[in-house]
Structure 1
Amino acid sequence: MKKLNLIILLTMILLISCSKGGDANKEELIIYCSHPLDLMNTILDDFKLKNPEIKVDVVTAGTGELLKRIEAERENPLGDALWGGTLNSVKSKSDLFENYVSTNEANIYDEFQNAEGNFTRFSAIPSVIMVNTNLIGNIKVEGYADLLNPALKGKIAAADPASSSSAFEHLVNMLYAMGNGNPENGWNYVQKLCANLDGKLLSGSSAVYKGVADGEYAVGLTYEEGGISYVVLGSPVKVIYMKEGVISKPDGVYIIKGAKNLENAKKFIDYCVSLDAQNILINKVNRRAIRTDADSSEVVIPMTEIYSITDNPDIVESNRQKWLDKFRDIFTSI
């Protein structure tokens, strides 16, 4: 009996060692990700299925926090790719990312091409207002101006633009929309909106759309997918495209300069703009794809039905920190 028990014990040790050895022999990929968990997990499950030889580890946080981390690790990068964050959010940190043009670039719409060399677009993201239909009552919400209604004071979910890329995009959107194309003329609106936030500023995008869907807030400033996903689930919410104008910006996936697992990071970039991944965006997570041959959506309305406006990327990039500082000063002084 003792001999049998010893054999069983040795067999278990051998199995555990083989298991650990097999995992250790896998290639690695470390992704810094600011996407919602549903999108992240849905895409990664398919990537892992197609690349079983790669062990994927993910660090999740807001775009601003992840960019600070990448900058702090510049001399010894611990991550291989940043997945998430709009182009406006990362352009000023261009030196943190490797040049790489995906093998799928030819299938991407012209306006989303990686002209810079280190910014691969992943999806298109319009800014929207999300409304809880159980809480809004008779209050009209068709755009930014309606958020100044005194009845909404303290009931508006908004994230800090310094830590959330979607919040920064909303700041840019409202500056251009409420400034009639001149962002400097939009600050009067921002000051009034900050007063109606009543001292409440959330840490990230997910806190905004969850807060509205859960009934903590009547309205929220978020991005399209965050709101539409709850509409699809049957939550008491609706998505409003601001009547003053909607800016739609691409987010992206970027290889961190000095990445230790460079080839696997390139594989991930190629996968993110593959037809399979782009169709998953449309069919499973309700986000707009950037490939010309991707499926059409039954849930997301065409951009032709939305009043769209544009920003000036050069002006946004050169004023990014100045605008963040000005927003903080306005918010903290009220």
Structure 2
Amino acid sequence: MKKFLSLVLMAAMLLSVAGCSSPAKPAESTPSGDAAATGKLVVYSPNSEGLMNSVIPLFEETYGVEVEVIQAGTGELIKRIQSEKDDPYADIMFGGAHSQYISNPDLWESYVSPADATLPEAYQNKSGFTTSYVLDGSVLIVNKDLIGDIKIESYEDLLNPALKGKIAMGDPATSSSAFAQLTNILLAMGGYESEEAWDYVGKLIEQLDGKVASGSSAVYKSVADGEMIVGLSYEDPCAQLVRDGANVELVYPTEGAVYLPATSGIIKGAKNMDNAKKFIDFILTPEVQDIFGTTLTNRPALAEAQTADYMTPIAEITTIDEDREWVNSNKDALATKYTDLFASLQK
């Protein structure tokens, strides 16, 4: 990559420049259509350098476009885009939760890639401006040294008395992965507002024995380090642990796992509009989706994309579809209800 800027989010929001290397270009990696674009593309992204290194240099090589990347957290980048509405600096936001895009519809240019129709219907661009490219699902991570003969195949299995105090979960009010687990549980156990589902949540809280993980990473790390037997986490970092040889395994609840998309969108008024559209098309090509599936630990959005052998085939996982619009509209109420229930069950 010719330029790679890292956004340091401090009082002055200083920018520092860092280089990144290009991976080998895969066979037949050029997407269909005119690849003779030139010029520049400015990308804001919360994504990891590993993901960026798998995409940006190849896009530059394929199209002859110079890409400038500015990285920071999603919330900070959204604020920056809002402050630059009258004179946008970036062309693309690459990454972030679907809900964060939907909550700010005035920031995005309408564009639906011709390749969007190749995605599963649940992840297609129905808003007119949100393009899904990878998916991340809620999972259970289990320490294989500690599990013994305890069966963990489902959410229901977490209510085994032998697991009391040995389950790691974050706070849905502050942790995005814990909130995703909460809504996954509610949907899987009867519905977001059903008494049966919330009754299960209460029983699970009692199993936590008052322990709350400090954040998303604390959940899977506590399991990998042998502090907890099982954790309610998300697939990406847990699959990385499996790939790297940790003695843990992933369990996909038999009641169903929700997969949520990471999203990309064109910033309204982008100065390099043609290149921005090419980038959206590019990340949906089978070639790039295969790279996501074989070099990363996120799920490619394209169902037919290849995945590495350390990833369980999606066909072997029971999946359920979240009502993302409803959940986004009721997020605060759900988190508050959980917090109140947790507090009421402490002795």
TM-score range, shorter chain: 0.7 to 0.9
- SS across alignment from 2:145: coil
2:87 is aligned with 1:76: no
Give 1:278 shift: 0.3
The offset of 1:151, in angstroms, is 4.4
Is structure 2 residue 39 aligned with structure 1 residue 39? no
Within 5 A, what are the aligned runs for 1:46-85? 46-50=58-62, 53-61=65-73, 66-67=74-75, 70-71=78-79, 74-76=82-84, 80-85=91-96
Q: Is the 8 A contact 2:43 2:90 kept in 1?
A: yes
The alpha-carbon distance between structure 1 residues 90 and 131, as it changes in their structure 2 partners (threshold 3 A), is: farther
One-letter code of the match for 2:82?
R
More helix by share: 1
Task: Tell me what 2:187 maps to.
Answer: 176
Aligned pair partner of 2:130 in 119, 124, 132: 119
Q: Distance in 2 between matches of 1:174 and 1:28?
A: 40
Q: Letter of the 1:171 partner, please give it.
A: L
What amino acid maps onto 2:45 in structure 1?
A: Y
Trace 1:121-160 onto structure 2 (pairs within 5 A).
121-160=132-171
- CA distance, structure 1, for counterparts of residue 204 and residue 330 of structure 2: 20
Q: 1:27 to 1:309 in 2, by over 3 A?
A: closer
Matched pairs, number = 303
SS at the partner of 2:105? helix
Match of 2:212?
200
The equivalent residue for 2:9 is none
Corresponding residue of 2:332: 321
Query: How far apart are 1:314 and its partner, in Å?
Result: 4.2
The C-alpha deviation readout for 1:243-292, integer Å capped at 9, x for no partner, is 22222333322234455665554343233212222011111114332336
Contact 1:124 1:250 in 2 (8 A): yes
How far apart are the structure 2 equivalents of 1:31 and 1:214? 34
- Pairwise mapping of residues 282-321 of structure 1 onto structure 2 (< 5 A)? 282-291=293-302, 294-295=305-306, 298-321=309-332
Stretch moving more, 129-138 or 259-268: 259-268
- SS of 1:135's partner is coil
- Give the CA RMSD over aligned residues: 3.4
Alignment check: 8 A CA contact 2:133 2:263 kept: yes
Deviations 1:8-48 (A, max 9, x none): xxxxxxxxxxxx9xxxxx84524231x45543443445445
1:54·1:264 contact (CA, 8 Å) conserved in 2? no
**Structure 1 residues 261 and 154, CA, compared in 2 at 3 Å: closer, same or farther?**
farther
Match of 1:16 in 2: none
Tell me the equivalent position of 1:29. Answer: 42
What's the CA shift for 1:149? 4.1
Aligned residues of 1:279 and 1:294 also touching (Cα < 8 A): yes
1:13 matched residue in structure 2: none
- Contact 1:71–1:96 under 8 Å retained in 2: no
- 1:252 and 2:293 equivalent? no
Q: CA deviation at 1:106?
A: 4.2
Give the Å deviation of 1:240.
0.4
TM-score (norm 2): 0.72
Corresponding residue number in structure 2 for 1:278 = 289
Helix, strand or coil: the match of 2:136? strand
Give the superposition deviation at 1:122: 0.8
Separation in 2, partners of 1:175, 1:235 = 30
Q: Secondary structure at the match of 1:230?
A: helix
Paired residue secondary structure (1:321): helix
Specify every segment of 5 or more residues in structure 2 that has no aligned partner in the other structure, as ranges: 1-16, 18-38
Give the drift of 1:329.
Answer: 3.5
The equivalent position to 2:119 in structure 1, one of 104, 108, 113, is 108
Q: Which is greater in Rg?
A: 1
Distance 2:337 2:76 in 1: 20
Superposition deviation, residue 101 in structure 1: 1.7
Overall identity of the aligned pairs, in % = 37
Counterpart selection for 1:235 from 225, 238, 246? 246
Structure 1 residue runs of 5 or longer lacking an equivalent are: 1-19, 21-25
Greater alpha carbon shift after TM alignment, 43-52 vs 163-172 = 43-52
